A = this chain, B = another copy of it.
Amino acid sequence: MNSSPQAEVFEVPAEVFEAAYWLRVQSNSLKQTKALVSELSLQFYKLGWLSGTGGSVTLKVHEHNVPKQNQFIVMSPSGVQKDRMSPEDTYVLSSGGSILSLPPTKSYPNNPPKCTDCAPLFLKVYEMCNAGAVIHSHGLDACLVTMINSSSNEFRIRNMEMIKGIQGHGYHDELVVPIIENAPSEGQLVESLTKAIRGYPKSTAVLVRRHGVFIWGDTWISAKTQAECYHYLFAAAIKLRQLGLPY
């Protein structure tokens, strides 16, 4: 885990002190992105993807003159209720993973803020996949499809129209999503996530056994759209198995 990207609060790098950074921290684009993280968190909570404070949404802050690899990143805190997260409750990170601003400490019974435990995983996806957004979902069917065959490291489905909603896939393509084994803490998943992304360059998702799924896209719209398609396909697989039908 030593070489994996980390969210670090106190070791602020020199770049942070550049004046341009502070202007960007106050930009409309950043405000909108924070609002969007809050809004999508509520929407996904209602879809059952983020219950029990599990799961998380992160977006890059799109700015016209900033290449994606340099864009700021908005993340949510660890262990907060996703149905009650306001735009102010979010973290802003530099593209390298340094925390630029953190949410204010809220009164009892809220815990002091701590950046999401998924930060190293999100940063790894941003780094490897040129993603603009990542969704980590605890949707029940995402969890269950990893348990149908506990010795398989892949979820496969084909001949479903909704596969067309997954980037780079047509109706006749088989969708293959790698499954990695779960670990006691999110940070311990960095290595296997990295390996899965490398091993499945066509996939825009990695399932975590008995846990959930990470899904990403070039933009928040692409990530959300694909997340809806993946969850549809997971639900289809579960129902087809209940019906004794192949998929």
Which candidate, A9-17, A123-131, A205-213, is the interface stretch facing chain B?
A: A205-213
**Closest B residue, CB atoms, query A166:** B52
A44 to chain B, nearest CB (A): 12
Given contact pairs A53-B225, A212-B161, A225-B52, A242 touches B242 in the complex (Cβ within 8 A)? yes
Residue of B52, B228, B238 touching A243 (CB-CB under 8 A): B238
Q: How far is the CA of A43 from the CA of B84 in the complex (A)?
A: 12
Interface residue? A103 (CB, 8 A): no
Residue of B52, B160, B243 touching A165 (CB-CB under 8 A): B52
Given contact pairs A239-B238, A242-B243, A229 touches B161 in the complex (Cβ within 8 A)? no
A241 to chain B, nearest CB (A): 6
Interface residue? A162 (CB, 8 A): yes
Interface residue? A31 (CB, 8 A): no
Interface residue? A198 (CB, 8 A): no
Q: How far is the CA of A52 from the CA of B228 in the complex (A)?
A: 5
Taking a contact as CB atoms under 8 Å apart, the answer to whether B232 and A140 are in contact is yes
Q: How far is the CA of A210 from the CA of B108 in the complex (A)?
A: 36
Taking a contact as CB atoms under 8 Å apart, the answer to whether A143 and B236 are in contact is yes
Taking a contact as CB atoms under 8 Å apart, the answer to whether B147 and A172 are in contact is no
Q: Give a binary string over A75-87; 1 marks a CB under 8 Å from any B CB, 0 the rest.
A: 0000101010000
- Which of A222, A226, A239, A240 has the largest number of chain B CB atoms within 10 A? A239
Residues of A165-199 at the interface with B, using a CB-CB cut-off of 8 Å, are: 165, 170-172, 182-184
**Closest B residue, CB atoms, query A222:** B109
**Closest B residue, CB atoms, query A117:** B164
Closest 9 CB pairs of A and B: A109-B219, A161-B211, A52-B228, A52-B229, A52-B165, A51-B228, A171-B184, A53-B225, A159-B210
Give me 19 A-to-B residue pairs in the complex whose CB atoms sit less than 8 angstroms apart, sorted by A's number. Answer: A51-B228, A52-B228, A53-B228, A54-B229, A79-B225, A109-B219, A109-B222, A138-B161, A140-B232, A140-B239, A143-B161, A144-B239, A148-B243, A148-B245, A159-B210, A160-B211, A170-B184, A241-B243, A242-B243
